[in-house]
Amino acid sequence: MIVAEELVKEYESGGTFRAVDSVSLAVQRGEVVLIIGPNGSGKTTLLSMLGGLVRPTRGTVSVDGRALHEMPERELEHFRLTRVGFVFQTFRLLDALTPRENVQLVLDLAASRHDADAILARTGAAHLAHRRTSALSGGEKQRVAIARALANDPAILLADEPTGSLDAAAGEATIALLSDAARRDGRAVVIVSHDTRIVPHADRVLHMNDGKLSNF
Amino acid sequence: MVPLARRLLLRNRGGLLVTIAGVAATVSLLLFLFAVHAGVKDGSTRYVRTANVDVWIAQKGSDNIIKSSSFVPASLAKRVAAIEGVEAASPLVRVISKAEIGGRLTSTLFLFGFDPQTRLGAPDGVRLQPGEIVLDESFARKYELDAGDTLTIQRRPFRIVRLSQGTNALLSQFGFLRFEDAAAILGLHDTASFILVRGKGTAERIRRALPDVAVHESADFVRYHDEELDAGVLPVFFALAAFGAAVGGLIIALMLYSSALERRDDYATLKALGAGHRYLLRLVLAQSLLVTIAGSVAGALFTLAITPLLLRAIPTLVLLYLPRHAILFPVALAIGALAGVAPLRVLRRIYPGEVFRA
């Protein structure tokens, strides 16, 4: 499903800084992979490369056999739009839009005919559809954000600290939704987090330190 | 696209209002300039257009009644009248003078003295008795005069018998009196400014008979006025209009640029979700056009509201709004679209990976 081989990401900043160092990883459909590690260990950079947001300095990433690192920018945009769902620690909802409109926006971008209300209902956010996004609680926002991430029925779901800004109950609900996305829908789910509550829900837990990935 | 653009604009209501007000002020200024130009043009040329004259005879090198000097013998009219095909010919004298009202001097008037017999050059064919005058309406309004009132010109009293319209050239207004009254003010004998002729197709015969004067067919004479006026004022109006349009465009561009900076997170999120650069461009363009449309409508309404107040405050102002002035709105949209390129560089530099920054 997701196959990364010998991924390296280097940044030039008064010298060469290697954020991700020769990481190889394979994530299957229906699998939840949790990557834990300290701040600055390269987790988010790895997630960005898996989602086609950042191009690797070296190495390869492919999803369903399609090589992301070779895609031109417009193709990569289309790939993100149709194949990847992102969940962020700070939700990244557009406050200018209602929750329903946030979901509909992705559907419109992808010219999809899926029903925004039904998608919101799946994450338990149907009652929030027409509320002001900025007035929602963290847990409510994350439900909407997951709905948006699922809007285009993506093959892979990438979550960056999805419970980082949530209280315990909202965190549990978020974990359940992500887990459900893998178990029920057969998506490949990669979660980057410090939150050890996620460990029992993960099929595999990997540890990242100084840009290197190892089994926990 | 448009709902999102509208919502993004509404996120900064203060900035949006200021921008709409700026665009409205620009549109209003441009409409005002167009209307002043049209008004001045109409006021400067309507008399010539409606004088019911077929041929204008002037001093050599003179081709308009506003911005050129012309002296010809008044008695020339008799020679012209004898030319085949000429139905009537009579002198018209122009005098430039201030008037006096209650011991106070007015602004300068262009006084035209026409022959009371032929009434060639008489506004609307008016009949005047000695000591009577037809006065431009805006001039009369400016000095609170009306029909029946009297004013003094060169120590000669004149009773206002009628007010005329379309006789306001902005910097000066027209008055009409009998030829002998105007000649007496001028103080020169057998002197006219123009000889006016009624008789279609006589211009060439008059030219052959009178080679030392300028002979203009009416349509040409009107065109010369248009050209003279355009040459004099159009560059100024164009410069002002271009400056106004540039200011309006800059206001929109500044708003879009600062909005792109303020909403950087939103644009990064859109990019991360898969929105392409073209989508973001269209989004910014939609915002720009929405602001331009709102500003244009507000500007037009403001202009409608303020016009009566302006005309009351400045009686000699002539504002003529014409259907062709509607060209301003597509032009405004084009400027708005052009302003949409302002945040291009900011948008291009937004990196979708920014979404992972806490």
- Cross-strand pairs, B163: B135
Interface contacts A/B by beta carbons within 8 Å: 69
Of all residues in chain A, what percent carry a pLDDT higher than 90?
A: 76
Q: Does A80 touch chain B (CB under 8 A)?
A: yes
Tell me the mean pLDDT in the region B244-256.
Answer: 91
Judged by CB atoms closer than 8 Å, whether chains meet at B269 and A94 is answered as: yes
Judged by CB atoms closer than 8 Å, whether chains meet at A74 and B276 is answered as: yes
Q: Is B166 left (phi over 0), alpha (psi -120 to 50) or beta?
A: left
Judged by CB atoms closer than 8 Å, whether chains meet at B352 and A160 is answered as: no
Model's pTM, two decimal places? 0.79
Provide, as residue numbers in chain B, all residues whose Cβ is less than 8 Å from the Cβ of A84.
Answer: 274
Judged by CB atoms closer than 8 Å, whether chains meet at B275 and A79 is answered as: no
Spatial contact of B274 and A110, defined as CB atoms under 8 Å apart: yes
pLDDT above 90 (res A160)? yes
pLDDT above 80 (res A215)? no
Judged by CB atoms closer than 8 Å, whether chains meet at A81 and B273 is answered as: yes
Provide, as residue numbers in chain B, all residues whose Cβ is less than 8 Å from the Cβ of A51.
Answer: 272
Q: Using one digit for the tens of pLDDT, what is the confidence trace for B169-209?
A: 877 899 999 999 999 998 888 999 999 999 999 999 999 99
Question: Which residue type is seen at B274?
Answer: G
Scored b (16 or more CB within 10 A) or e, A179-209 reads bbbbeebebbbbbbbebeebeebbeebbbbe
Distance CA A54, CA A79 (A): 13
CA A46 to chain centroid, in Å, comes to: 11
Q: Which A-chain residues 109-148 have CB contacts (< 8 A) with chain B?
A: 109-110, 148
pLDDT above 70 (res A61)? yes
Spatial contact of B89 and B195, defined as CB atoms under 8 Å apart: yes
ipTM (interface pTM): 0.90
What local confidence, expressed as pLDDT, does residue A195 receive? 87
- Structure confidence at residue B358 as a pLDDT band (50, 70, 90): low
- Compute the nearest-CA separation of A183 from chain B (Å): 23
Q: Using one digit for the tens of pLDDT, what is the confidence trace for B41-82?
A: 888 889 998 888 999 999 999 999 988 889 999 999 999 999
What local confidence, expressed as pLDDT, does residue B22 receive? 92
Q: Using one digit for the tens of pLDDT, what is the confidence trace for B139-151?
A: 999 999 999 999 9
On the CB side of B186, CA atoms within 13 Å amount to: 24
Provide, as residue numbers in chain A, all residues whose Cβ is less than 8 Å from the Cβ of B1.
Answer: 108
Provide, as residue numbers in chain B, all residues whose Cβ is less than 8 Å from the Cβ of A109.
Answer: 273-275, 279
Judged by CB atoms closer than 8 Å, whether chains meet at A92 and B8 is answered as: no
- Compute the nearest-CA separation of A90 from chain B (Å): 6
Structure tokens at A138: 């963290």
Structure tokens at A39: 């701040």
pLDDT above 90 (res B162)? yes
Q: How many of the other CB atoms lie within 10 Å of CB of A24?
A: 12
pLDDT above 80 (res A143)? yes
Q: Does A94 touch chain B (CB under 8 A)?
A: yes
Burial tier of A169 (Cβ tally within 10 Å: 0-12, 13-18, 19+): exposed
Q: Using one digit for the tens of pLDDT, what is the confidence trace for B310-344?
A: 988 888 888 889 999 999 999 999 999 999 888 88
The angle formed by the CA atoms of residues B351, B356 and B358, to the nearest 5 degrees, is 120
Q: Does B140 touch chain A (CB under 8 A)?
A: no
Coil, strand or helix at B102: coil
Mean pLDDT (chain B) is 91
What is each CA distance from B196 to A202, B62, B85, B91, B224, in whole angstroms? 103, 14, 14, 6, 16
Of all residues in chain B, what percent carry a pLDDT higher than 70?
A: 100
